[in-house]
Structure 1
Amino acid sequence: MRVMKWSIIALAVAAGTSQMAFASSQSESKGFVEDSSLNVKTRMLYFSRDPRNSTAPTDGSPRRSEETGLGFLGTYESGFTQGAVGFGVDAIGMLGIKLDSGKGRAGTGQFPTGSDGRSEDSFSEGGGAVKMRISDTVLKYGTQFTALPVLATDDSRLLPETIEGFLLTSKEINGLELNAGHFTALNAQSQSYHDSIGGKDRQTGIKGPGLTSADVLGGSYSFTDNLSTSLYYSKVEDYWRKYYANVNWALPINDEQGLVFDVNFYDTKSDGAALYTAYDGDKLDNQAFSLSAAYNIGAHTFTLAHQRITGEGDYGYGIDGGGTIFLANSVARSDFNAEDERSWQARYDLNMASYGVPGLSFMTRYVTGEGANVEGTTNGKEWERDIEAKYVLQEGPAKDLSFRVRQATYRSADGVYYGSSSLDELRLIVEYPLSIL
C-alpha cells in the first residue's frame, strides 16, 4: 500500500507541473473521411492440446483436441468531424471459419460447439461504436477492444473478445493518460451471441451470469522516457473490486546494454453476491504481486521474474476480460495465480536482426511454482516450459506477413491448473494485416 500512496502523490505533482499541449488532436483534425482507416487482419491458427497419459481436464474437454481455423477481423475507424467538438464512428466485423476439426477433437476454444459436440463450421460477429472528441479527450460508446490492466479483452484464439460500453480516454497533459469507463457486456472469443462470457466459480464449477456492470477508473503517467507508473481501480458487480499499480523503469547502460524493471500489484476483494470464490468457499481477499528484471545486451535479452499470491483465493479474472492479468508469470498455459502460490521465471529472447535476419525472433522460458493452496493439497506444484519462434516479412508484396510457432509443456502432479496434470500444446499461427485505407 505504501507504493500505491507514493504513486498517487507523484502522479498529482507531475500532473500539476506538466505543460499542456499547444495543439490538440481535435484542432488538427482533417475530417471524418480524410482521417478514416480500414484494416483487415487474416489469421490462420492450428491449435493442438494433448493431455498425454493423464486424465482429461475437469472442464469436460476431450482427451485430445486439435483444430484449425481461419479468421478475419475487419476494423473501420473514421476520423473526427472538424470543429471544437468532433464526431465519428468505428465498426468491427469478424468471421471465423473451421478448416479442420472433428467431434473427438473439438474443444480448443476456437469455435462455438453445437449440441452434438462438434465445432460449428463458421461464426461471425459485428459491432459499432460512436465517438466524440474535444481537444485530446475521446468519449466512445459501443463495441470495442480494451487493454486496461483491470479490463483487457483477450486475443489468444482465432478471433478476439469484444466489450460493450463507455470508455473515456484523456491525454490533455503530455505523458499523462486518464481512463474512465462503464461496461455492460463481454463477448467471448469463440461465441457470437451477446454477453457470452459468464464467470465460473473455481470451487463449484458453476458458470455465473454474464457481465452486468463493470466500472473502471485510472491512468498512467510517464515521468521520463524511461520511468512510468500506472494506477487503476475497477468494480465488477457481484464479482469483485480491484486495485492495480505498476512501475516500469528502463535503465540504459550504454548503446548496447540496458536493464528494465517492472513491478505489478493487484488487490482483489469479493463484491456483492461474490459469484467467484476460493476453493474452500471463502470470499476473495487477496493480493497478487510480480517483479521482473530484464537485461538486454545486443540481440539478447535475459529476464528473471518472481510472482506470489497472498490472502484468500486465487487471483480471479475473466468476467472482466480474458487478458486482465498483467502479471509476469501469466504465460501460455498457466498463470501461476493459485492461492498462496509462489513462482519464478527464467526467460531468454533472441532478435536475429543483429545477425542479418531481420524479422526473425526466438523466445524460450521456464516457470515453476509451489505452495499453491488448491483442492487436495496446500503445497501444489507446477511448471511450464514455452518455446516460440516468429518470422515477419520485412518487404515485398507480402510485407508484414508473419509466421509463428508456439509450443508449451505443462506439468503438475497436483493438478493445480483446473485439475490438469500434464498438457502439451502446439500453435501454428499465420497472420497477414492489410491496410485498405
Structure 2
Amino acid sequence: MTRTLMFFSAGLAVAGNSAHAEFVSDSKVTLEARNLYFSRDFRQPGGSLASGQSKAEEWGQGFILRANSGYTEGVVGFGLDTIAMAGFKLDSSPDRSGTALFPTGSDGASQDEYSKLGLTLKAKVSNSTLKVGSLLFRNQMLLSPDGRLLPQMFKGSMIEVSEIENLSLQAARITETMASQSGHWTRLTGNRVGGEGDDYTFYGGDYKVLPDTSIGLHYGSLDGVFRQYVANASSLVNLSPSDSFKTDVRLAKSEEDGNFRALDNTSVGVMGTYKSGIHSFGLGLQKMMGDDPYPYVAGTDPYLVNFIQISDFANINERSWQVRYDLDFAGLGIPGLGLMARYVKGSDVKLSSGSTGTEWERNTDIFYVFQSGVLKNLSVRWRNATVRSSFGNDLDENRLIVQYAFSVL
C-alpha cells in the first residue's frame, strides 16, 4: 500500500503545483470515488473455458484524481494535465479472481492494491492542441474502456486541429498501454488476431455537414499487425418537439500490415433509434465479412454498434441484430432515474471445426443520480448481463457501481 499512497500523493502534489501556476484561473481539479462489485457466474459444466473457475467475484474501491490546467498566455499556450489513480481490494479469493478489477500475482491471486500516475504536457495554438504523455481516448480508432475500477491509459502523442469551421482533424502515435487492472506500461497487441506492434498510429477527421449530421473518415495501423479504414455517419432528425430519429452507420475495412499473416475483415453496422418523449426504441444490424474477425487494439473497446457489456459479435462471418429500449423517468417525476434494456443475437459464426455457431446477450442497466441534498451527484448503477453461446462461455454477470465525483478546484 505504501507504493500506492506515494503515487497518489505525487498526483496531489502536481495538482497543487499546477494550482499556483499562472494558468490557475482555467485549472480544474476533480476527485472521483468509485466502488465496484463484480460477479460473473460461469454456467456451463466445467466452469470458465479459460480458467475452469465456476465464478469470478471481487469487490474494490477506486479513486481517480484529475488535475487539468489552463494554458499560459501568448501565441503558444502551455499546460499540464495530471491523472492519479489508486485501486484497493475489498474482497476476493484465489478461486474467485480474474474479474480484471485488480492485477494478479504469479499464484493467480489478486493484489491488495495498485496505482497509476499519468502526466500530459499540452500546447495550444489558435484552435489546435498538441498533447504528449499519458492519454485517454474515446474516438473511432481507440476507445479507452472504463467499465472496471480504473480506466485504461495510453502513452504517446496526439494533435487535434479545429481551424476550419465544422471540421475536426486528429492524429496520434501510441507506443504503450496500461490496462485497466494494471499499474505498468506494456506493449501494444492485437485483440482477436494476435500480434505485437511497436506503435499504433491513427489519423482522420469528422465533418459536421449539418447541425445534427456528421460524417467521419479515419485510418489506424498497429505496426506490423493490422491496418484499418473506418467510415462513419450519424444524423438526428427532429420529427416533432418530442419525437426524433437518429441513425448511426459504421463501416470498416481491415487487413494485414507488413509481414503479419494474411488478414481480411469488412464490417458493416447500422443503428437506428426512435425517441418519443421519455421512451427510446433502437434497432441495430451488424455483419462481419471476410476470413478473420474484427481486429482492434487489445484491451480497448471496438467501434461497433453491437459491442455491448460483454460481447462484441465480431467473429468470423457473424451477423447480429440488436433491439434496445431506454426509459427516462424524469418525465414520470423522478429525475435522475434511468433504465436501459437490450438484446443482441448473433448467428452464422464460422468456427475452426467447420461448423457454425450462435450466441446471444441480454443487458439490463438501471441507474440513479441524486439530484440534491448532501448526496447530490452520487450515482448508483446496477448492470446485469446474460450470455449464452454455442462456442464460448455461458455466463451471468452483475456489476454494482457507486460513484461520487466532486470538484476540488
Please confirm whether the aligned pair reaches a TM-score higher than 0.5, indicating the same fold: yes
Deviation at 1:60, TM superposition (A): 2.5
1:361 aligns to what SS in structure 2? strand
* Matching of residues 295-314 of structure 1 within 5 Å: 295-314=274-293
1:147 aligns to what SS in structure 2? coil
1:193 aligns to what SS in structure 2? coil
Deviation at 1:153, TM superposition (A): 1.5
Deviation at 1:56, TM superposition (A): 3.0
CA-to-aligned-CA distance 1:189-212 (integer Å, 9 cap, x gap): 11111126644555xxxx754x52
Q: What TM-score comes out, normalization by structure 2 length? A: 0.92
Q: Which runs of 4+ in 1 moved over 4 A?
A: none
CA-to-aligned-CA distance 1:243-294 (integer Å, 9 cap, x gap): 11111011110011110011011111111243xxxxxxx6221111100111
Structure 2 contact 381–400 (Cα < 8 Å) conserved: yes
What amino acid is the match of 1:427? R
What amino acid is the match of 1:246? N
Aligned to 1:195: 186
CA-to-aligned-CA distance 1:28-85 (integer Å, 9 cap, x gap): xx95111111111111111101111333333326221100011111111111001111
What amino acid is the match of 1:404? R
What amino acid is the match of 2:341? T
Aligned to 1:391: 368
* Matching of residues 181-260 of structure 1 within 5 Å: 181-195=172-186, 198-199=189-190, 208-209=195-196, 211-260=197-246
Confirm or deny that 1:85 pairs with 2:76.
Answer: yes
* Matching of residues 342-381 of structure 1 within 5 Å: 342-381=319-358
CA-to-aligned-CA distance 1:399-437 (integer Å, 9 cap, x gap): 211000010000012x1xxx32x1101000111111111
Cα pair distance change 1:330/1:314, threshold 3 Å:
same
Structure 1 contact 62–107 (Cα < 8 Å) conserved: no
Aligned to 1:74: 65
Cα pair distance change 1:61/1:141, threshold 3 Å:
farther
Aligned to 1:17: none
Distance in 2 of aligned mates of 1:200 and 1:248: 27
Structure 2 contact 188–198 (Cα < 8 Å) conserved: no
Aligned to 1:10: none
Structure 1 contact 188–196 (Cα < 8 Å) conserved: no
Structure 1 contact 187–197 (Cα < 8 Å) conserved: no
1:151 aligns to what SS in structure 2? coil
Distance in 1 of aligned mates of 2:381 and 2:95: 26
Distance in 2 of aligned mates of 1:148 and 1:53: 36
CA-to-aligned-CA distance 1:95-125 (integer Å, 9 cap, x gap): 0000110011101011001112210000001
Confirm or deny that 1:424 pairs with 2:396.
Answer: yes
Aligned to 2:23: 32
Aligned to 1:408: 385
CA-to-aligned-CA distance 1:218-258 (integer Å, 9 cap, x gap): 11111222111111101111221111111101111001111
Distance in 2 of aligned mates of 1:132 and 1:142: 12
Aligned to 1:292: 271
Distance in 1 of aligned mates of 2:191 and 2:287: 22
2:330 aligns to what SS in structure 1? helix
What amino acid is the match of 2:406? L
Q: What TM-score comes out, normalization by structure 1 length? A: 0.86
Aligned to 1:18: none
Structure 2 contact 37–399 (Cα < 8 Å) conserved: yes
Distance in 1 of aligned mates of 2:259 and 2:188: 18
Structure 1 contact 61–107 (Cα < 8 Å) conserved: no
Q: State the aligned residue count.
A: 389
Aligned to 2:115: 124
Cα pair distance change 1:294/1:200, threshold 3 Å:
closer
Distance in 2 of aligned mates of 1:40 and 1:193: 22
Deviation at 1:174, TM superposition (A): 2.4
